[in-house]
Structure 1
Amino acid sequence: MEIRELQYFVAVAEELHFGKAAERLDIAQPALSRSIAQLERRLDVTLLERTSRKVALTEAGGVLLAEARSILSAVAAAERRTQEAAQKSPRVVLAVKTGTAGDLLAKVLDAYRAEPDAAEVELLLCEAHQHQRLLLSGQADVALLHLPFDPADGLDTEVLFTERQVAVLPTSHPLAGRAQVRSAEVAGLPDLPMARWSRPDGSYPDGPGPEVHNLGQIFQLIALGRATVVVPESAAVDLRRDLVTVPVVDAAPVTTVIAWPAQSRQRAVADLVRVATRV
């Protein structure tokens, strides 16, 4: 299989429409159709079921889509890291979820900066569940993840710390003065529905709460009395004055890890990981 064929197949598999995929790739639709048909003949399998109304992935097509994404991500990562290896000044891209790990991040960066051969660290702020894709595609070299919420397949990790979870509430709410609450109490609030975070595939669970992408957004909604959320305690360190946190005693603990692609051989990444685990 050729890289170009995989790129074409991924476009069709994601769009499930040959016309839209051709526009995305900036090629003619007949050429795209011929390329997919040639790929199916070479593999001797049907990758896409085509009718006059829709295009659907077969089971074999679903397998190839996952594999092709992984291959294309690895190729992109190899290109970027090879180019960076030729630069005189090494650089490490660290992906961090917006609004999280502020205190830890500052300590890690300060400690790493003091290393004799420290590389330049570029921060890449991202939304929930984006870290894995950024690492595997080569857009980031290392990331801070929160387990079990962030996917970590294909990544190596080192544990930094484990913490409890807290509910974030308006200071005026009846539960705001409690020493602790239980998950069922927070989830059952009729006036403050639980905010809904996106899943790794971009979809949202069903529920009455608003769809959210980052902590800044959810904190504003909570202050307006529109939602509540349960988050790791460190995510609410710099909380605005009109909000308060209450420990959720039966919520599963959250473990913060530093993660990097399993195939990474960058000395700067290894040094940053070593410093982070020490801090």
Structure 2
Amino acid sequence: MLERLELEAFLTLAEELHFGRTAERLHVTTSRISQTIAKLERRIGAPLFERNSRIVRLTPLGKQLRDELRPAYDQISASVRAASQGGSITQTITVGFSAPWSGNLLVRAAAVAQERYPDTAVDIEEIQLIDPLGRMRSGAVDLQLTEFPINEPDITTGPIVFAEPRALMVPGSHPFATRESVSMEDMADATLVTIADEHVPRYWMDEYFPRRTPAGRPIPQGPATNFWPEVLVHVSQGVGVSTVSLRARDFHSRPDLVFVPIHDARPIVYGLMWPTARKKPFVDVFLEVIAEVAESQ
């Protein structure tokens, strides 16, 4: 468990990349920040920052830790701010995400919304890919930022927020690992690690875990996993490969994984959706905030 100063020092330094400015923001001495970061790195057993007399920058492990901690920290901070305002929350919406980069965007949008509309709270939760629609259909989620396409009679799709290039995640020992890019046809020469599809629309599976190449060649299907960490394990151990957003390499970089762009694949499109029969009034307002924050990135 991270101590409060360790958490705040790490996240602030990851943003500022300057020990002096970090110390000023946290109202402590520069040496205290340096000691706190060093203590945290000793606990983790690896450096989180590269630093010398001229620069401070995150290591790959530091980037991964920042991206995993920031959404949760921002959500906790927003909840504390709301509570400090006397518990005057009159409406709450719950927003789901499936990819960490989508979650980061939603957390930033939630912080903006909290400042502008202090009587409304935005809760954010991760949606598992093996059941992308279940939380919405159960009434637990009011809005969701997810991979398109979504074509369901009881769900309304809204604006596309952003798109990311598609890649093939392969083990470091795979023949594809040394290539600058691969094609959709190359997937016939690899085993595709997929996800369990009991609750996933077939058209969605065909978009992200195809069974055939564009020319009709069969793509060998590997194990069907239940959670993303299982995909990482199977691929890293050479069981197969997986289609991913190229941006995943910024969040899941490790020595035994390589992210190879698929040069002829459609980009992965991320859009917003909500239940057709149950749209809370604040959803429209939050849609505008999301679009504003996404445009400023």
| TM class by smaller structure | 0.5 to 0.7
Change (3 A) 1:223 1:99: farther
- Aligned match of 1:79: none
Deviations 1:67-96 (A, max 9, x none): xxxxxxxxxxxxxxxxxxxx9532111122
Give RMSD over aligned pairs: 2.8
Percentage of identical aligned residues: 20
1:1-279 matches, within 5 Å, as 89-97=90-98, 99=100, 101-117=102-118, 119-128=120-129, 130-148=131-149, 150-156=150-156, 157-189=158-190, 193-199=191-197, 201=199, 207-242=220-255, 243-279=257-293
Letter in 2 for 1:137: S
Change (3 A) 1:200 1:104: farther
1:122 and 1:106 map into 2 onto residues whose CA distance is 9
Change (3 A) 1:181 1:142: same
Secondary structure of the equivalent of 1:210? strand
2:153 and 2:101 map into 1 onto residues whose CA distance is 21
2:104 and 2:196 map into 1 onto residues whose CA distance is 25
2:285 and 2:119 map into 1 onto residues whose CA distance is 8
Letter in 1 for 2:125: L
Change (3 A) 1:252 1:198: farther
Asked if the contact 2:142–2:274 (Cα under 8 Å) also holds between the matched residues in 1, the reply is yes
Normalised TM-score (structure 2): 0.55
Count of residue correspondences? 189
- Unpaired runs of 5+ residues, structure 2, are 1-87, 212-219
Larger radius of gyration: 1
2:137 and 2:199 map into 1 onto residues whose CA distance is 15
Normalised TM-score (structure 1): 0.59
Deviations 1:137-169 (A, max 9, x none): 311111112112x55442222210122211111
Change (3 A) 1:151 1:89: same
> How far is the alpha carbon of 1:112 from its aligned partner?
2.8
- Aligned match of 1:9: none
Letter in 1 for 2:168: A
> How far is the alpha carbon of 1:118 from its aligned partner?
5.8
1:245 and 1:121 map into 2 onto residues whose CA distance is 33
